[in-house]
Amino acid sequence: MDKRLERFFEKAKEIGYIDKQLYKTHSVKNGLRNEDGTGVLVGLTKVSDVVGYCRECETKVDQQGQLFYRGIEINEIVDGARNKSRLGKANLFEETSFLIMFGYLPNREELEHFTRILHKKFHLPKDFLESKILRAPTKNLMNKLQQDVLTLYNYDKTPDDVSLEHIIDQGLHIVGKMPCLVAYNYQSKVHYFENESMYIHHVDEDLSFAENILQMIRPDQEFTDLEAHLLDIILVVHADHGGGPNSTFVNVVMSSTGTDIYSSFAGAIGSLKGPKHGGANIKVCQMMDDVIADIGYEASEAQIKEVCEKLLAGNYFDQRGLIYGMGHAVYTLSDPRSEVLKNGARELAKEKNLETEFDFYERFEKVAKEVIKEKKGINVCSNVDFYSGFVYEKMLNIPRDLYTPLFVCARSIGWLAHNIENQMYSGKIVRPATKYVGEICEYIDIEKRGN
């Protein structure tokens, strides 16, 4: 930064300083959070519900976490208990997408019809791959996804038509194209910036979301049923998480202005890119890399405890005083998404001969929760990021560059559902207020300004 700009900025920090106490003085919910860490209610939804503590109790009371899509608990969806007409065990994301969008689990004929419609939207517009991806490689896939979604605007004959019927069709077009956008941009990136071989595999309408992702990013296009099933589950648990997550809220805030869905989705992608949101599982992997390099998979409980204590004390990894993958803004005793992934990972670990590695993650989770309880006096659970990175990297051989883009593939259906719901039943522009706490200056003579 220019030296004068640095001085300007130092003066600006002094003039613009906002005392944290002012948030309490003016009853402002910092970060849209209550004093006990719970979220401030900012809307109504029937899409999904996140339950981590007793809402009827006078004070926050911890409880086992639950995640409901349209009133159906996530475990029931994954187990298929409510619908025996599943097309195949790697088509669960398609079934869940229907549920999230339309509010009920489809019968076999409805699911087959919806799946055909969605799969036909897999294909990119003519010449898009060559002109917009292969000729425009990027160092950051999330930024490129934003660009590509905005570019799709130009291929829409009526992009600014925000009628609900049109938004549904536009949104499904974006959702359907995500596997291709993610896979092809990744191939372009590793070829141009990492000097690796590039291979382009065409999308296949007869394969599911999960199956297409695996066959397009792998050189040999090969995958097992269990691998596809586990990736399918990952997409399902990431499909939605209520109206509160930052990216979903950004999408709703932007769409409330009446802007086009391409702009709303691009904004949501930018939000999800952040390491405090969609990029959190990469931090878990980086932390665990250091831990495993230091103490190994066969480490004792005492060794794991020592590392966890160092992490909390800020004497290890990035010195932030955090154990990444532990704790959540809503969930307290358990994160149902983490439990679902853990169960799926346990099954695949046997097939992949990764039982020692999986056992270490389970033992680390147990000790970390105990240490946090001992040191901070609060109940925490492993969140979805703790196991998702392990599953991606160790079990599915998916590169870290793809972790957050795959989150986009899944969450885009949730964005679409909340976008539509808000426009149907709220219809107001989201316009919260802020409290001015600066000084009111008297008139300043223009001749004396700056002196």
Percent pLDDT > 90 in the chain is 74
pLDDT tops 90 at residue 356: yes
pLDDT tops 80 at residue 448: no
Higher-confidence residue of 354 and 89: namely 354
Higher-confidence residue of 446 and 65: namely 65
pLDDT tops 50 at residue 82: no
Q: Which long-range contacts (CB under 8 A, 24 or more apart) does 289-297 make?
A: 290/316, 290/317, 291/317, 291/364, 292/360, 297/356, 297/357, 297/359, 297/360
Sign of CA dihedral 262, 150, 247, 21: negative
| pLDDT band, residue 85 (cuts 50/70/90) | very low
Given this model, what pLDDT does residue 58 score? 63
**pLDDT, tens only, 366-384:** 999 999 999 999 999 999 9
> Residues 6 or more apart from 82 whose CB is under 8 A from it?
72, 76, 105
| pLDDT band, residue 87 (cuts 50/70/90) | very low
pLDDT tops 70 at residue 449: no
Amino acid in the structure at residue 27 = S
Q: For residues 329 and 331, what is the distance between their CA atoms, to the nearest angstrom?
A: 6
Confirm if 203 and 374 have CB atoms less than 8 A apart. no
Domains in the chain (CATH in brackets) are 69-279+400-425 (1.10.580.10), 281-395 (1.10.230.10)
Question: Other CB atoms closer than 10 Å to residue 190's CB: what's the count?
Answer: 16
Q: For residues 406 and 302, what is the distance between their CA atoms, to the nearest angstrom?
A: 36
| pLDDT band, residue 443 (cuts 50/70/90) | low
Q: For residues 299 and 315, what is the distance between their CA atoms, to the nearest angstrom?
A: 19
pLDDT tops 70 at residue 446: no
Q: Is residue 180 classed exposed, middle or buried when 0-12, 13-18 and 19+ CB atoms within 10 A define those classes?
A: buried
Average pLDDT of 45-64? 85
pLDDT tops 50 at residue 28: yes
Q: For residues 271 and 277, what is the distance between their CA atoms, to the nearest angstrom?
A: 7
**pLDDT, tens only, 6-17:** 888 888 888 888
Q: In sequence order, what are the beta bridge partners of 62?
A: 53
| C-alpha 380 chain-centroid distance | 20
Least confident of 50-54, 210-214, 286-290: 50-54
Sign of CA dihedral 100, 103, 105, 111: negative
pLDDT tops 90 at residue 275: no
| pLDDT band, residue 30 (cuts 50/70/90) | confident
Average pLDDT of 37-43? 82
Q: For residues 428 and 258, what is the distance between their CA atoms, to the nearest angstrom?
A: 10
What backbone torsions phi and psi does residue 68 show, to the nearest 5 degrees? -115, 130
Average pLDDT of 226-247? 94
Given this model, what pLDDT does residue 35 score? 78
What does the mean pLDDT of the chain come to?
Answer: 91
**pLDDT, tens only, 305-353:** 999 999 999 999 999 999 999 999 889 999 999 999 999 899 889 889 9
Q: Label residues 13-48 b or e (16+ Cβ within 10 Å = b).
A: eeeeeeeeeebeeeeeeeeeeeeeeebeeeeebebb
Average pLDDT of 122-147? 96
pTM: 0.91
pLDDT tops 90 at residue 299: yes
What distance separates the 2 farthest-apart alpha carbons in the chain? Answer: 79
- 3-state DSSP helix/strand/coil percent for the chain, to nearest 5? 55, 5, 40
Average pLDDT of 262-269? 98
Q: For residues 132 and 147, what is the distance between their CA atoms, to the nearest angstrom?
A: 9
Percent pLDDT > 70 in the chain is 95
**Structure token digits, residue 297:** 């998979």
Least confident of 74-88, 97-111, 115-129, 165-179: 74-88
Q: For residues 117 and 398, what is the distance between their CA atoms, to the nearest angstrom?
A: 28
Question: Other CB atoms closer than 10 Å to residue 448's CB: what's the count?
Answer: 7
Given this model, what pLDDT does residue 447 score? 61
Q: For residues 447 and 451, what is the distance between their CA atoms, to the nearest angstrom?
A: 9
Given this model, what pLDDT does residue 89 score? 53
pLDDT tops 50 at residue 83: no
**Structure token digits, residue 146:** 């934003």
